[in-house]
């Protein structure tokens, strides 16, 4: 009977119920959308790290990050055992070096990246960054040059570049390789100075047999903290250093944490607004209905039962509002996941400087929706404590005097 009363009360005054339910819908929509956008931005940046050259975690010879010379290199056999670790899916060996590259009259210093073609294709999809020519193949060893390098030096596929630089332990690095493809690394900075070759070629060029400067640690999950610990535990840290993306890109880390704090702050404000507006609604509704509550108590309905009816009404409306809110939020979030918001201005510059796309797709993580729907549900219940308190202290005579 109490449920029947609650149910009918909701449908009796449709305007009142609609106000309540729509304020909940709006709250859910806003919180979920905002959070999805924020987590999406954050997640996209991190995803970009993985699909860029960094990876979440890298191993170097100790001191390499401070002084990027080929002398700070290590042998792959030193980290062989890591492949057996549970959270680690692969190790991508690389050589990062520098050299002067010349073609006919022009020459230019470039950053050389020696990679394992198969691994980089599989894990970071380097082949998809080729915009002209081909990716490495067994028959086509050679160079992938950044789009910018091509433009500056006026190169075309098939041209042979001559390299001159310093090799391992003071040796002379020299070699000549043909261009097989042009890659677009999405940022002008990188495009202007990157030349990619196979690991073997780089080892040959720099006279660095069997050695690498960097190993990217590939993870099964995005849980890079665990992976870093696992890595540290499994290798000789007197010889090697293990760095995560936050250590390698402190600026990016800062950017993300500022963004997160800002997001939390905005969310806090949002929730205050939601709480106050819901409270306002509840205040109004309780005032409107105190006469009715007064009659019920006067004729002999215990306050607890009146309270149960009020709570049932609230719960039903909260569920309706939250569920409807999620239904409304879903297409929004989905739309902006498929059509990411394009950053502009300063944000765009900062983000692109790190080599990431200036796009924010919303996150589709369902836990965002459930968390915030849950929080709002709880807020609705908490705000209704006012009604319960009001009923508890209700003097039926005063309530009925109007």
Partner 1 sequence: MIQASNIHKTYNDGKVKVHALRGIDVEIKEGEFTAIVGPSGSGKTTLLNIVGGLDTPTLGEVHISDTNIAQLSENELIDFRLNHIGFVFQSYNLIPVLTAKENVEFLMLLQKRDEEERNERTTKLLKAVGLEDQINKKPNEMSGGQQQRVAVARALASKPDFVLADEPTANLDSKSTANLLDIMLRLNEEENITFVFSTHDQRVIDRAKRVITVEDGKILSDETR
Tell me which of 300, 344, 345, 346 binds partner 1, using CB under 8 A: 300
Q: Tell me: does residue 138 bind partner 1 (CB under 8 A).
A: no
Number of residues lying near partner 1 (CB under 8 A): 22
Residue 302 Cβ, how far from partner 1 at the closest point, in Å? Answer: 5
Residue 262 Cβ, how far from partner 1 at the closest point, in Å? Answer: 47
Tell me which of 62, 140, 141, 305 binds partner 1, using CB under 8 A: 305
Q: Tell me: does residue 8 bind partner 1 (CB under 8 A).
A: yes
Q: Tell me: does residue 291 bind partner 1 (CB under 8 A).
A: yes
Residue 298 Cβ, how far from partner 1 at the closest point, in Å? Answer: 6
Residue 11 Cβ, how far from partner 1 at the closest point, in Å? Answer: 8
Buried b (16+ CB within 10 A) or exposed e, 209-234: eebbbbbbbbbeeeebeebbebbeeb
Q: Tell me: does residue 303 bind partner 1 (CB under 8 A).
A: yes
Tell me which of 111, 255, 301, 324 binds partner 1, using CB under 8 A: 301
Tell me which of 273, 298, 334, 385 binds partner 1, using CB under 8 A: 298
Q: Tell me: does residue 266 bind partner 1 (CB under 8 A).
A: no
Strands 143-146 and 172-183, by their bridges, are parallel
Where helices occur in 182-221 by DSSP H, the ranges are: 188-193, 199-205
Q: Kindly tell me which of 30 and 293 has the beta carbon lying closer to partner 1.
A: 293
Query: 182: which DSSP letter?
Result: E
Contact (Cβ atoms closer than 8 angstroms) between residue 107 and residue 168: no
Residue 304 Cβ, how far from partner 1 at the closest point, in Å? Answer: 8
Q: Please give the Cα distance from 122 to 117 (Å, whole number).
A: 9
Residue 47 Cβ, how far from partner 1 at the closest point, in Å? Answer: 53
DSSP string, 323-379: HHHHHHHHHHHHHHHHSPEEP-HHHHHHHHHTT--SEEPPP--HHHHHHHHHHHHHH
Closest CA to 369 of 27, 33, 2: 33
> Of 3-11, 193-201, 360-368, 374-382, which part binds partner 1 (CB under 8 A)?
3-11
Strands 214-219 and 57-61, by their bridges, are antiparallel
Tokens encoding 314: 């609230």
Contact (Cβ atoms closer than 8 angstroms) between residue 291 and residue 402: yes
Q: Tell me: does residue 16 bind partner 1 (CB under 8 A).
A: no
φ/ψ of 67, rounded to 5, equals -130, 105
Q: Please give the Cα distance from 283 to 175 (Å, whole number).
A: 80
Element (H, E) at 393: none
Contact (Cβ atoms closer than 8 angstroms) between residue 220 and residue 200: no
Q: Kindly tell me which of 120 and 313 has the beta carbon lying closer to partner 1.
A: 313
Q: Tell me: does residue 18 bind partner 1 (CB under 8 A).
A: no
Residue 9 Cβ, how far from partner 1 at the closest point, in Å? Answer: 6
Contact (Cβ atoms closer than 8 angstroms) between residue 159 and residue 132: no
Q: Interface residues for partner 1 in 333-352 (CB under 8 A)?
A: none
Tell me which of 302, 366, 378, 385 binds partner 1, using CB under 8 A: 302
Contact (Cβ atoms closer than 8 angstroms) between residue 201 and residue 119: no
Q: Kindly tell me which of 5 and 326 has the beta carbon lying closer to partner 1.
A: 5
Q: Kindly tell me which of 300 and 331 has the beta carbon lying closer to partner 1.
A: 300
Tell me which of 80, 223, 287, 292 binds partner 1, using CB under 8 A: 292
Residue 367 Cβ, how far from partner 1 at the closest point, in Å? Answer: 39
Binding map of partner 1 across residues 370-399, x = CB under 8 A, - = no contact: --------------------------xx--
Residue-level length of the chain:
402
Q: Which residues pair with 146 in a beta bridge?
A: 183
Residue 12 Cβ, how far from partner 1 at the closest point, in Å? Answer: 5
Where helices occur in 58-128 by DSSP H, the ranges are: 117-123
Interface residues with partner 1 (CB under 8 A) are 1, 5, 8-9, 11-12, 291-292, 295-305, 396-397, 400
């Amino acid at each position: 009977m109490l449920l029947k009363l609650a149910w009918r009360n909701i449908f009796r005054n449709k305007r009142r119920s609609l106000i309540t339910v729509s304020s909940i819908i709006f709250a859910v929509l806003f919180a979920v959308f905002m959070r999805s956008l924020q987590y999406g931005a954050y997640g996209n940046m991190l995803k970009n790290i993985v699909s860029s050259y960094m990876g979440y975690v890298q191993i170097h010879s100790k001191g390499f990050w401070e002084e990027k010379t080929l002398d700070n290199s290590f042998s792959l056999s030193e980290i062989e055992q890591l492949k057996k670790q549970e959270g680690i899916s692969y190790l991508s060996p690389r050589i990062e070096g520098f050299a002067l590259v010349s073609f006919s009259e022009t020459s230019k210093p470039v950053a050389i990246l020696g990679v394992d073609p198969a691994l980089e294709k599989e894990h970071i999809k380097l082949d998809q960054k080729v915009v002209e020519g081909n990716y490495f193949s067994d028959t086509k060893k050679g160079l992938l040059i950044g789009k910018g390098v091509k433009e500056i030096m006026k190169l075309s596929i098939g041209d042979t570049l001559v390299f001159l630089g310093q090799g391992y332990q003071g040796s002379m690095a020299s070699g000549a390789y043909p261009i097989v493809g042009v890659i677009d690394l999405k940022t002008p900075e990188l495009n202007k100075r990157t030349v990619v070759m196979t690991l073997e070629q780089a080892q040959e060029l720099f006279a660095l047999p069997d050695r690498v400067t960097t190993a990217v640690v590939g993870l099964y999950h995005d849980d890079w903290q665990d992976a870093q610990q696992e890595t540290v535990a499994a290798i000789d840290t007197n010889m090697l250093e293990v760095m995560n993306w936050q250590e390698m890109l402190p600026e990016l880390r800062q950017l993300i944490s500022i963004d997160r704090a800002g997001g939390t702050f905005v969310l806090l404000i949002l929730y205050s607004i939601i709480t106050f507006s819901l409270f306002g609604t509840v205040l109004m509704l309780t005032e409107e209905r105190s006469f009715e509550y007064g009659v019920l108590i006067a004729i002999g309905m215990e306050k607890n039962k009146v309270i149960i009816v009020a709570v049932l009404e609230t719960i039903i409306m909260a569920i309706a509002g939250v569920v409807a809110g999620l239904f409304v939020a879903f297409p929004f979030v989905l739309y902006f996941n498929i059509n990411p918001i394009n950053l502009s201005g300063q944000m765009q510059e900062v983000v692109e400087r790190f080599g990431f796309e200036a796009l924010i797709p919303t996150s589709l993580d369902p836990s965002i929706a459930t968390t915030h729907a849950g929080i709002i549900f709880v807020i609705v219940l908490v705000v209704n404590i006012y009604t319960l308190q009001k009923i508890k202290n209700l003097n039926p005579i005063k309530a009925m005097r109007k």
